[in-house]
């Protein structure tokens, strides 16, 4: 009779057997996690409090930062805890939650990136109709739709994955629970539900990337016909960061999911997993803020108000 492992733990991949290296790994990922957390939370705060940033582009950027915080918080804290405690186990419910939330947040992030590309298309190609098309109601509907689709795919993938049997090895060849790694250790021969989920997800992702591609074809066609160099520079300054984020996210995700899962993961497999799940949430605040004058202005304005608030509160006390 098939033994379903619904009450046993899984064992996650370890970077090294050395406790010293595991401690170094723990501190390194703790630093990365804190930097990512601070960067994304800073964007969320700035876009929320600064009236100049209450535009559709920054509304989507704030939601992207929320998703980045959620995505990196699903996997990295567990990795840090495992590194410090030298225990790589994860409970069955914990594994289910990781699959559910990772798929949900990744799907929602793809949807938000698609919405951001459409926003840039309307702003550059149809500027006279921008306020009418990208009104607040439309933006809220786009974000809500992305969260709904993310939740649906999360439930679909987690149900399809954990309806399988795990009667053999429980060593997940990954530092967090993801679908390809769990399929690798499953002893079920029929994967109908998860295959349908994967095909549906691949079609959805393909449609999102096609829409992004078409948006940027029209965007670059319009930008290159602009007579003024200043207009081209401004258009490129808002589009290039978005393209960098999309490229980083899509390349790392496709590589991680299309690459065959090895029986004995090596350092390269660990690094690919890190690039897919940790790099995009960590890099997004840097990419969007590095050359963004409005974000920099909002930051200095926020620090100036904070300084004056502390100064006047000190005088009153």
* Tens-digit pLDDT profile for residues 38-58: 989 988 998 898 888 888 989
Rounded distance between C-alpha atoms, residue 219 and residue 232, angstroms: 11
Residue 4 confidence (pLDDT):
45
Average pLDDT on 195-219 reads 87
Average pLDDT on 208-224 reads 87
pLDDT tier at 161, thresholds 50, 70, 90? confident
More confident residue, 178 or 258: 178
pLDDT tier at 5, thresholds 50, 70, 90? very low
Residue 40 confidence (pLDDT):
92
Rounded distance between C-alpha atoms, residue 46 and residue 279, angstroms: 22
Residue 13 confidence (pLDDT):
81
Inform me whether the pLDDT recorded for 228 exceeds 70: no
Inform me whether the pLDDT recorded for 34 exceeds 90: yes
* Tens-digit pLDDT profile for residues 283-313: 878 777 655 777 777 777 777 776 665 655 6
Rounded distance between C-alpha atoms, residue 280 and residue 188, angstroms: 33
* Tens-digit pLDDT profile for residues 118-144: 998 998 888 889 999 999 999 999 999
Token code pair at residue 257? 């999911």
Out of 3-12, 219-228, 299-308, the most confident range is 219-228
Inform me whether the pLDDT recorded for 6 exceeds 50: no
Of 164-178, 205-219, 234-248, 272-286, the one with minimum mean pLDDT is 234-248
What's the mean per-residue pLDDT of the chain? 82
pLDDT tier at 151, thresholds 50, 70, 90? very high
Average pLDDT on 242-261 reads 73
* Tens-digit pLDDT profile for residues 167-201: 777 888 888 888 888 888 888 777 777 888 888 88
Percent of all residues in the chain with a pLDDT value above 70, rounded to a whole number: 85
- Could you give the domains of the chain? 10-316 (1.20.1070.10)
Inform me whether the pLDDT recorded for 115 exceeds 90: yes
Distance between start and end Cα atoms, the chain: 73
Nearest-CA neighbor of 102 among 160, 174, 35, 176?
176
Inform me whether the pLDDT recorded for 224 exceeds 50: yes
Instruction: Judge residue 120's burial from the number of C-beta atoms within 10 Å of its C-beta, 0-12 exposed, 13-18 middle, 19 or more buried.
Output: buried
Residue 3 confidence (pLDDT):
42
Residue 310 confidence (pLDDT):
60
């Amino acid at each position: 009779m098939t033994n379903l492992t619904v009450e046993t733990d899984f064992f996650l991949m370890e970077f090294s057997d050395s406790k010293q290296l595991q401690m170094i790994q723990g501190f390194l990922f703790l630093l990365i996690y804190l930097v990512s957390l601070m960067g994304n939370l800073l964007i969320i705060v700035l876009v929320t409090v600064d009236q100049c940033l209450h535009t559709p582009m920054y509304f989507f950027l704030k939601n992207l930062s929320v998703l980045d915080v959620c995505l990196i918080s699903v996997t990295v804290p567990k990795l840090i805890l495992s590194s410090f405690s030298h225990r790589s186990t994860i409970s069955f419910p914990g594994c289910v939650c990781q699959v559910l939330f990772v798929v949900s947040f990744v799907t929602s992030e793809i949807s938000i990136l698609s919405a951001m590309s459409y926003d840039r298309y309307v702003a550059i190609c149809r500027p006279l109709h921008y306020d009418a098309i990208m009104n607040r109601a439309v933006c809220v509907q786009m974000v809500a739709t992305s969260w709904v689709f993310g939740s649906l795919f999360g439930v679909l993938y987690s149900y399809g994955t954990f309806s399988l049997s795990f009667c053999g090895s429980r060593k997940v060849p990954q530092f967090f629970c993801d679908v390809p790694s769990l399929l690798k250790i499953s002893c079920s021969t029929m994967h109908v539900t998860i295959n349908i989920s994967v095909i549906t997800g691949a079609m959805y992702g393909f449609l999102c990337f096609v829409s992004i591609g078409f948006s940027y074809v029209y965007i670059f066609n319009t930008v290159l016909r602009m007579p003024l160099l200043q207009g081209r520079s401004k258009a490129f300054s808002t589009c290039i960061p978005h393209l960098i984020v999309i490229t980083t996210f899509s390349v790392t995700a496709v590589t991680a999911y299309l690459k065959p899962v090895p029986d004995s993961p090596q350092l390269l497999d660990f690094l690919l997993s890190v690039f897919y799940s940790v790099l995009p949430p960590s890099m997004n605040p840097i990419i969007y803020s590095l050359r963004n004058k409005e974000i920099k202005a909002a930051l200095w304005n926020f620090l100036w108000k904070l300084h004056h608030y502390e100064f006047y509160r000190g005088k009153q006390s």
